Amino acid sequence: MNFWLSFSLFACVATPATSKGRRCEFLARPSEVPKVRRAGHVNGTVQLCAYTDCCMGFFKLDGGQPRPDLLGCGMMNVQCPEPSCSASKHMDNYTKCVCSSDLCNANMTWMPQNRTDAYMNINAFSDLWRLGMAAIALGTLLLVAVLYVAAQWRQLFKDPSKNPPKILTIFLIFPHECNSVGDFASVWQACLDGTPVAVKAFPAAHAQKFIHERKVFELPLMEHSSLVQYLGAGRELRGGERVLVLELAEHGSLKNFLSLHTSDWRSSLKLAQFLTQGLAFLHSDLYRNGVHKPPVAHCDLSSSNVLVRSDGSCALCDFGCSTVLRCVQPGPATLGALETMLRPLQR
């Protein structure tokens, strides 16, 4: 959909007239303090919650032990039935918790999941299998590229009297610098009309990167089950950040999913199928009902830029480094020069 949203990251939470009264331990880096303080008044190392009865905590695992990295009141009104702060899963050496008693986020009880001997024994096999699947996917992409180029050359050297060749000149649009998402954007979970969504927030200093990715999402016919669904764009009312609103993939990135789960052959085949279909669609040059979708090169494909849904399917995301290609019919002068260049090859 191509529409503009104007809403707050707290769109699912009505702003109360008075504080909830929950007291939470507070800890934040200087750069994070302005945003985290929106969840409630801060007095020293204690925050009085304004939106929720939940305390939250993000902890970094150092040597297997959790170290507080970000503490405070919850920024969204979610359920927190547990009175104490505990966790058993982690992603990229970070873990989090929410709890429902005063100052409950000051300390965490870390209970890592036990792995069976069978799982440990197949760990090495899983790594080899993932490398094999990556090699198969790369080989498939290379084969498709070779076949496409061969088809274009075959069309080029056909008898001009029977079927004049259509020579295409390709140029690039949306020039940009390519950086990792973590350098300029953050991703939050929020609600839109009661539906959980993902919100990718760009600081005002990176407005051009927001504009670039929005342009890619808003290309005609840019809808496919193997691409993350784009729901709109807008500006966060209080912070001035530019935001993209996307579907929420429950399992997060493919990198995190594979680090936490053992995938059987059927599940892995489904992931590979969605990934290759998404790339094929992204690279396609589509004309439908008078509307044109140009080819798009992702330019930053990795397991961190593939999202896994709850049904086991996956979707490409993060088009901040993508390049859009436009195909145009050259004029007679360009065709004449190209014909002169190719004539020795036709002998």
pLDDT, averaged in runs of 10, over the chain (347 residues): 40 42 89 81 90 87 86 79 84 83 90 52 54 69 63 51 39 37 71 82 86 93 94 73 89 90 91 94 91 92 92 93 75 63 61
pLDDT attached to residue 235: 75
Strand-by-strand arrangement of the 323-328 sheet: 169-173, 323-328, 296-297
How much is the pLDDT for 189? 82
So what's the pLDDT on residue 5?
A: 42
Residue pair 283/293 in contact by the 8 Å Cβ criterion: no
Count CB atoms within 10 A of the CB of residue 102: 16
* Residue in this structure with the two tokens 């799982």, named with its chain if needed: 119
**The predicted structure's pLDDT at residue 21:** 81
User: How confident is the model at residue 183, as a pLDDT?
Assistant: 54
pLDDT computed for residue 127 by the predictor? 59
Torsion of CA 118, 124, 130, 132, to 10 degrees: -120
Closest alpha carbon to 77 in 16, 163, 5: 16
Helix pair angle (123-156, 265-283), 10° resolution: 30
pLDDT of residue 64: 79
- The verdict on pTM exceeding 0.85 is no
What gap in Å lies between CA 65 and CA 67, rounded to an integer?
Answer: 7
